[in-house]
Amino acid sequence: MGDLLFGTTLLASFLGGVVALLAPCCVSVMLPAYLATGFRRRTGILAATLVFAAWVATVIVPIGLGATALVSLISGHHLLVFSIGGAAMALGGLALLAGWKPQLPMIAGRAPHGHGFGSVYGLGVFSGAASSCCAPVLAGVAVLSGAAASFPAALAVSLTYVAGMVAPLCLLALVWDRRDWGASRLLQGRQVTVGVGRLRRPLGSAVSGTPETLEPVTALAPSLRRPAGVLLALAALALAALLGTATPASAHATLLFTSPAADATVADSPKSLVLVFDQPVSLSGSTVRLQPTAGLGTAALSQGRRTVTVPVRGTLTEGVHTVDWTVTAQDGDIMTGSYRFAVGPRTVALTSGQTTTAKDRVPTTILRWLLFAALALLLGELTTSHLAARVPDAPVRRPRSWALPAALVGCAAALGLTALVIGDGSLRSVIDTRPGVLSLIEVAGFALAAVAVGVRHRSWAVVPLAAVVIAEALRAHPQAQQAVAGPMLTFIHLAAAALWLGALVQVLRTTADWRGERAAARGLLSAYARLAAWLFAAVVTTGVIAALLLVPLGDVFHTTYGQVLLAKIALVAGAAALAYLARRRLHSAPGRLPYRPARVEASALIVVLAVSATLTVLRAPADANRPLSFAPPTTGPVVPAGTRAGEIGISARASTGQLIVELTAPQVGNPDDQSYGLSATLADPRGTRRALKLRGCGTGCFYTQLTWREGTSHLTLTASAGEEWAGGRAGLAITWPARPDAALLRETVGAMKKAPRFTLHELVTSNTTLGLGDLKQLPITGKEFLAAEPYGSGTAPVITRLPDDNGHRRLALAYPAEHTQLDLTLDETGRILHETLTAPNHLVTRTFVYPETGEEGHEH
């Protein structure tokens, strides 16, 4: 759906929710249940309304999403689901054999007690299930959800429907909070029957929800409080499941190639600008601008969303042109950069002007630091409460909780990061892209944690906070290097670091509140010290492994990422030294508590979080030898060349600043499973020899950056294709610069059409180690020959003039999509004298023998 249609869909879902609220079952069940909980007391009415709405969504949203999403999820990851299920069953069986007796939570029919937020949870679920008579409207919403282009879009449609159902309740809560409607004259003096004629109360008392009026409705709520915790955990686990289905991607988009090439000169104005990145990118909020200003068309994505192509409208003037680009990387960071190229008949000297940086680096760093800090405080408070509960004779008093403010700050920071993902785009850029979904899940994780804290069940916040950590693990740099191990390393590293800092801050606050209880304070510090030792080991181990994955040792001191990483290591080492000093003082001086080194340690760890947030917006050093997913685009005219080494076909394309060599072996089975090897040595026109560093660019594809010298260079290639196909050495000649000559091909085709019957001598081989093949002679006319040739129409994708050979003109043709090259030698009239055709599975060598002038009119 387009943006307009999607917005209309959301509006329709919202209005449908408002209409559904007026259905008979909603009026008779949902509204009384809501009034019985939210209006029991006038304080916290709006909070109870939001909690109530959350659990109405627990029932409604899965209906909107539909069973199809669940089936596709399971079928797409059946191996993972079966593996986890099998492991869980095996562990459960072993536990039962060992004597474990599980106590499953059951709904108990005990007497009602309490009317807190837990009751609101249960009533929300009950009301959502009881409002099934809204089926006609809900069915329409389900259809809209199914028509959505993605799972996040379907989720947005369902949540909008729930928002429509509860929006009137929120307005009612705000109005009700301003006045005591139970004493209103409007509602007094009338009687209303509650139930089936069993209870009569004043209308004002009934609507205001006095305890005796709706006691039968509220009796159900406490019995559902225990399952409410399970449902909250399941909701957060659903977020984690969504995260687990996302595919890994590189941490930051790096511009690999451009056409025209950066800092290069092209003779003619390019028809388009091509930018090739190392990972899929999004065009949402993306721009490509050209200076001096020139007309550009609409950008398009190709090659798995890794290539951005922008048509150039008109002709660029001669001189230097600067391209400023902005794209959204798959991790949500907005990358920006620029490069230059020149247009003109003469070479223009350009210094290196290509740059790539993350957009909005400062706000992204600040927001991510706030997110990390909020996560640390939440996890630290949960951990410290457990540690304090185990301290003998611990005081009952605790410092004021920071959990709810921390959850709200984390939610606000995640919303800020979501806003940066949107940029200048639309809402669809969030719900239809992987980084947008990750940011929304972080928002939901902190929001669920805030709800858990608000209803005084802080332990429930562990699962949604774990979903936040998983989201960060899937977004961070290591997942680009290792799809499975990378996120696991980041998860352990971030969770351990957050617990280290958060627990330390909370322990210091708790011991400050226990100043008169030295024994309890010492016991709490000792318990934390034991935990911190394990956390430190986890942080260091995972950090070292991740650093080795991301930064080659040679780049540690010479790149910005490596230098900031060294600063982080120094800070962690300083914090570890302070922790060791505090632990020694704790054991060596019984009368003193190590408050000062512990406070300095906490301050150092806060700075570590800031440095970690900075690392998330820096680009890790790119591996110059890392294989590419596909061949980069050629720049300018191309010199093609082809040959065969054993049973392996070799296709080469030389263009400005680069050489691409593609190998093909006979296809047996899946061609992508074939492995290839290639080494290359170049001898330039001056006779200087050097080995080339080749970089993979797909199956059988190899690429290297190369500055060609004017003249003929000679390549020596050694190719292999596993053990099943014969390889070997072969040579190619590359003459630079390239000289396109389409007119010569047309002249050749015209001359061959006039050629009478002649004798074609042909050698065909599929394995050059066995020779060039058996000689065959074929009488044929020029027209008959052209009818079977790819260039018979007088055109070819690549047409390049080669140096003359003994006075004969030479022409090189290439068909890159078919991995086919031809080398033609022509006589003075344009007729072909010799032809060498290199195809994926054979090498053809042809010699043309034409009759003497006096014999041309006779055919035999």
Radius of gyration of the chain (CA): 36
Percent of the chain having pLDDT more than 70?
A: 63
Query: Which one is predicted more confidently, 434 or 114?
Result: 434
pLDDT digits (tens, 9 = 90+) for 668-697: 767 777 889 999 999 999 989 999 999 888
Window from 23-37, 366-380, 577-591, 724-738 with minimum mean pLDDT: 23-37
Say how many CA atoms lie within 13 Å of 501 toward its Cβ: 24
Please state the length of the chain: 860
Residue 298's pLDDT band, with cuts at 50, 70 and 90, is: confident
pLDDT, one tens digit per residue, over 720-762 is: 998 889 999 999 999 998 899 999 999 999 999 999 999 999 9
Q: Which of 454, 450, 461, 462 is nearest to 413 (CA)?
A: 450
| Alpha carbon 5 to chain centroid, angstroms | 26
Q: Taking residues 324-332, report their average pLDDT.
A: 75
As beta bridge partners, residue 714 has 683, 733
Q: Write down the pLDDT at residue 28.
A: 57
Q: What is the pLDDT of residue 763?
A: 93
pLDDT value of position 692: 94
In a 13 Å sphere around the CA of 74, the CA atoms on its Cβ side amount to 7
Q: How confident is the model at residue 601 (pLDDT cuts 50, 70, 90)?
A: confident
Between CA 545 and CA 533 the distance in angstroms is 19
DSSP summary character for residue 352 = -
Query: Tell me, what DSSP letter sits at residue 740?
Result: B
Q: What is the pLDDT of residue 84?
A: 64
pLDDT of residue 346: 45
User: For 501-524, how does the pLDDT look when each residue is reduced to its tens digit (9 = 90+)?
Assistant: 888 888 888 888 887 787 888 888
CATH topology of domain 639-736: Immunoglobulin-like (2.60.40)
Closest of 166, 187, 71, 174 to residue 120, by C-alpha: 166
Could you give the angle at which helices 135-147 and 3-20 cross, rounded to 10 degrees? 160
Q: How confident is the model at residue 351 (pLDDT cuts 50, 70, 90)?
A: very low
Least confident window among 71-80, 94-103, 199-208, 309-318: 199-208
- Residues forming a β-bridge with 341: 321
Which string of DSSP letters, residue by residue, matches 68-94?
Answer: HHHHHHHHHTHHHHHHHHHHHHHHHHH
Compute the C-alpha angle 685/686/687, nearest 5°: 90
Distance, CA of 824 to CA of 841 (rounded, Å) = 20
User: What's the fold here for domain 255-358?
Assistant: Immunoglobulin-like (2.60.40)
Higher-pLDDT residue of 27 and 388 is: 388
Q: In the numeric block, which tokens belong to residue 775?
A: 């000689």
pLDDT computed for residue 70 by the predictor:
47
Q: Angle at CA 106, nearest 5°, toward 105 and 112?
A: 115
Q: How far is CA 757 from CA 505, 558, 778, in A?
A: 94, 69, 10
Q: Specify the pLDDT at position 649.
A: 93
The predicted structure's pLDDT at residue 850: 94
Query: Using N-to-C axis directions, what is the helix angle for 45-76 and 135-147, rounded to 10°?
Result: 50
- Order of all β-strands in the sheet with 725-736: 689-691, 677-683, 711-721, 725-736
Q: What is the structure's pLDDT at 663?
A: 93
The SS3 assignment for 325 reads strand
Band of residue 209 on the pLDDT scale cut at 50, 70, 90: very low
Q: Quickly state the pLDDT bin for 88 (edges 50, 70, 90).
A: low
Tell me the CA distances in angstroms from 549 to 317, 343, 542, one per residue in order. 45, 41, 11
At residue 813, the pLDDT reads: 94
Please report the pLDDT score of residue 750 as a whole number: 94
* pLDDT at residue 778 tops 70: yes
**Considering only 170-174, 197-201, 701-705, which range has the smallest mean pLDDT?**
197-201
The rounded distance, in Å, linking the Cα atoms of 416 and 421 is 9
The pLDDT, as a whole number, for residue 583 is 78
Residue with tokens 């074609």: 760
pLDDT value at 154 more than 50:
yes
Q: Which tens digits make up the pLDDT trace of 805-814?
A: 888 999 999 9
pLDDT at position 786, please? 93
Structure tokens at 395: 């005081």
At which residue do the structure tokens 């669940």 appear? 70
Does the pLDDT of residue 184 top 70, yes or no? no
- Confidence check: pLDDT of 618 > 50: yes
Residue 205: which pLDDT band, with cuts at 50, 70 and 90? very low
CB 452 within 8 A of CB 466: no
pLDDT at residue 232 tops 80: no
> Can you give the pLDDT at residue 349?
42
The pLDDT value recorded for residue 216 is 43
Q: What is the structure's pLDDT at 95?
A: 63
255 touches 356 (CB < 8 A): yes
Contact 697/632 with Cβ under 8 angstroms?
A: yes
Number of Cβ atoms within 10 Å of the Cβ of 482:
15
Would you say the CATH fold of 742-855 matches that of 639-736? no
CATH architecture of residue range(s) 742-855: Clam (2.50)
Q: Which residues 6+ apart lie within 8 Å of 603 measured at CB?
A: none
Residue 844 predicted with pLDDT over 90 = yes
pLDDT in tens, 370-418: 999 999 999 999 888 888 888 887 787 888 889 899 999 999 998 888 8
Spacing of C-alpha 290 from chain mean position: 28
Lowest mean pLDDT among 46-55, 137-146, 316-325: 137-146
What is residue 407's three-state secondary structure? Answer: helix
- Please report, as a single letter, which amino acid is at residue 459: S
Q: Tell me the pLDDT band of 591, cut-offs 50, 70 and 90.
A: low
* pLDDT surpasses 80 at 494: yes
State the Cα–Cα distance between residues 794 and 73, nearest whole angstrom: 52
pLDDT at 398: 83
Residue entry with tokens 């072909």: 832
Calculate the average pLDDT of the chain.
Answer: 75
Six token digits for residue 568: 């982080």
**Is residue 230 pLDDT above 60, yes or no?**
no
DSSP state of 26: I
Question: For residue 478, is it left (φ>0), alpha (ψ between -120 and 50) or beta?
Answer: alpha
Q: In the chain, where are the structural domains located?
A: 3-74+112-223, 255-358, 361-616, 639-736, 742-855
With CA atoms as reference, report the closest residue to 323 among 334, 332, 312: 312
Q: Which of 150-154, 247-251, 317-321 has the lowest mean pLDDT?
A: 247-251
pLDDT band at 10 (very low <50, low <70, confident <90, very high): low
- Burial label for 404, CB within 10 Å (0-12, 13-18, 19+), is middle
Of 746, 699, 716, the residue nearest 641 (C-alpha): 716
- 572 band by pLDDT with thresholds 50, 70 and 90: confident
> Among 391, 504, 577, 579, which Cα is nearest to 587's?
579
pLDDT of the residue at 48: 62
Region of residue 29 (phi > 0: left; psi between -120 and 50: alpha; otherwise: beta): alpha
Peptide bond into 816 cis (omega under 30): no
Question: What is residue 480's predicted lDDT score, i.e. its pLDDT?
Answer: 63
